[in-house]
Amino acid sequence: MSDPIQSLHDLRFHDLETELEAAGVSKSHARALFGATHRLADPNPADRTDFPPPLRRWVQTHAAPGQRLSPETPEITAEIPSMDGLTHKFLLKLRDGQTVETVAMGYPGRFTACLSTQAGCAMGCVFCATGQMGFVRHLRPGEIVAQALVAQRHLRAAGHSGLRNLVLMGMGEPLHNYDSVMQALEILCDTRGLNLGPSRISISTVGLVPAIRRMAEEKRPYHLAVSLHAASDAERSALLPVNQRWPLAELLEACRFYNQQTGQRIFFGWTLIEGINDSPDHAIRLAALLEGVNAHVNLIPLNPTPAFHGAPPEDAAGRAFQKILRASGIPSTIRQRRGIDVDAGCGQLRAERRPGKAVSGSSPAPEPVTGP
Ligand code: SAH
Ligand code: SF4
């Protein structure tokens, strides 16, 4: 098995202390280095002149570019800014050439980063550009952490306040890469580093039942979003192949268990697709399915993708859907994705990024698509 620690950004605080001690350097220096790497988001701490000499020597011999713990510095290969400057989509190239998408988005005072957790995805959801490209590999913790730091540097350079919220709704299925995701979040929430609040982080899953149960048992302090999209097994399996493995009854049982164990509400994602899952009857069946579940529903009009012949419904259908949920006492929000260009939805920037294709452009800011 390859060493899971391949960069400075893969290290939790105590891993860094262990590395320093193993090299005969006082672990008390971990705080300065961790602070520079994460709180200050310095991409190359080997250049810092404010470290005490033993730490400086260690960084230059162990954590400078080219060394075992070199910093994770993904190259920005494409960017799509928004007209108002508040949303910015990045295509990031990892060390092995794989590319993933990260989005910094939001409104002053509540900036959110949307991070990828895998290159590609194994789940094959038919309307998703990432699913259409298949699975490539899991991301390491450092590759997930580094995306948040790219967003943080971008926000600071633009004169905004720093990152406050995270959603794991970029490329990949976070709960298929459970350990790396949890390690990355531990690093990002460390008070000596970026210090993000766990209650400001949402993990979105297609519905990996054992991992939802594990999150509940471990009482992970993050918000959980479950992508539902259909309220019968036949309809859901047609959109989300994973439903054949964990059908709705098992998924909803795991969701109830999560509610009980954590006391937390679950955010259910429902991508509205015209003529497929946007009728009043679908809303009635969704309301019945969620009876007794502590739930909030996020309705998201489909963002068209090349390999799926579907369209978002008219706004009126979304409003009618929401009215039925409201009548059943289920809170919901319609999340407009109007800010996302045709080639800039989830996974689409990478899918469309072929030689010669221009990717810069402008689009109004999308809202965070999940979470509180
Ligand atoms: N794998 C996780 C998280 C990444 S996908 C999951 O599936 O939940 C994030 C969300 O975007 C999911 O709810 C997914 O169903 C939705 N999504 C994917 N492709 C979409 C598209 N073309 N239009 C609208 N929503 C989409
Ligand atoms: Fe993977 Fe989520 Fe896309 Fe499904 S919707 S293929 S789980 S990224």
User: Whose CA is closest to atom 5 on ligand 1?
Assistant: 169
Residue 101 appears among annotated catalytic residues: yes
- State residue 306's pLDDT score: 86
Let me know: does 114 contact 122? Beta carbons within 8 Å: no
pLDDT tens for 290-331 read 999 999 999 999 988 889 999 999 999 999 999 999 999 999
Residue 184 Cα, ligand 1 centroid: separation in angstroms?
A: 21
Q: Enumerate the domain spans of the chain.
A: 8-62, 75-342
In this structure, the number of other CB atoms found within 10 A of the CB of residue 165 comes to 21
- 305 CA → ligand 2 middle, Å: 13
Pocket of ligand 1, beta carbon within 6 A: 125, 127-128, 169, 173, 204-206, 227, 269, 271, 300, 302-303, 305, 345-346
Q: Which ligand is nearest to the CA of 229?
A: 1
Is the CB of residue 174 less than 8 Å from the CB of residue 160?
no
* 206 Cα–ligand 1 center, Å: 8
Task: Dump pLDDT digits (tens) for 132-182.
Answer: 999 999 999 999 999 999 999 999 998 888 899 999 999 999 999 999 999
Backbone φ and ψ for 27, nearest 5 degrees, come out as -70, -10
Active site residue 125: no
Residue range 186-204: average pLDDT? 97
Nearest to 169 by CA among 372, 345, 350, 363: 345
Is 125 a pocket residue for ligand 2 (Cβ < 6 Å)?
Answer: yes
Class (C level, CATH) for 75-342: alpha beta
Q: Which residues contact 136 (CB under 8 A, 6 or more apart)?
A: 98, 118, 119, 120
Task: Answer for the pair 200, 149: CB distance below 8 angstroms, yes or no.
Answer: no
Closest alpha carbon to 206 in 99, 286, 124, 282: 124
SS3 140: coil
Would you say 193 and 187 are in contact if contact means Cβ atoms under 8 Å apart? yes
Give the bridge partners for 135, in sequence order.
120
Ligand nearest to the CA of 345: 1
- Nearest-ligand number for the alpha carbon of 128: 1
Candidates 108, 2, 11; CA nearest to 365 is: 108
Rg, C-alpha atoms of the chain: 21
When pLDDT is averaged across residues 110-118 and rounded to a whole number, the result is: 93
With the most atoms of ligand 1 within 8 angstroms of its CB, the residue from 101, 177, 271 to mutate is 271
Rounded to 10°, the helix 280-289/315-327 angle is 40
H/E segment holding residue 80? strand 75-81
Q: What ligand 2 atom has the least distance to the C-alpha of 124?
A: 6
Q: Identify the band that residue 370 occupies on the pLDDT scale cut at 50, 70 and 90.
A: very low
Q: What is the pLDDT of residues 76-100, one digit of tens each?
A: 999 988 766 678 899 999 999 999 9
Q: How confident is the model at residue 110 (pLDDT cuts 50, 70, 90)?
A: confident
- Give residue for tokens 């509205």: 272
Give the C-alpha separation, 181 to 162, whole Å: 21
Distance 205 CA to ligand 2 centre (A): 8
Cα 24 to ligand 2 centre (Å): 45
**Ligand 2 atom nearest residue 121's Cα:** 1
Pairing of strands 99-107, 110-114: antiparallel
- The C-alpha atoms of residue 10 and residue 75 are separated, in whole angstroms, by 17
Percent of the chain with pLDDT over 90: 80
Q: Specify the ligand 1 atom closest to the Cα of 173.
A: 1
Please count the other Cβ atoms lying within 10 Å of the Cβ belonging to residue 179: 10
Higher pLDDT, 215 or 354: 215
pLDDT in tens, 239-249: 999 999 999 99
Q: Are 115 and 108 in contact (CB under 8 A)?
A: no
Q: Whose CA is nearest to atom 22 of ligand 1?
A: 303
Active-site position among 17, 19, 72, 101: 101
- Which two structure tokens, joined as six digits, stand for 170? 């970029």
User: What are the C-alpha distances in Å from 141 to residues 77, 117, 302, 321?
Assistant: 21, 9, 30, 39
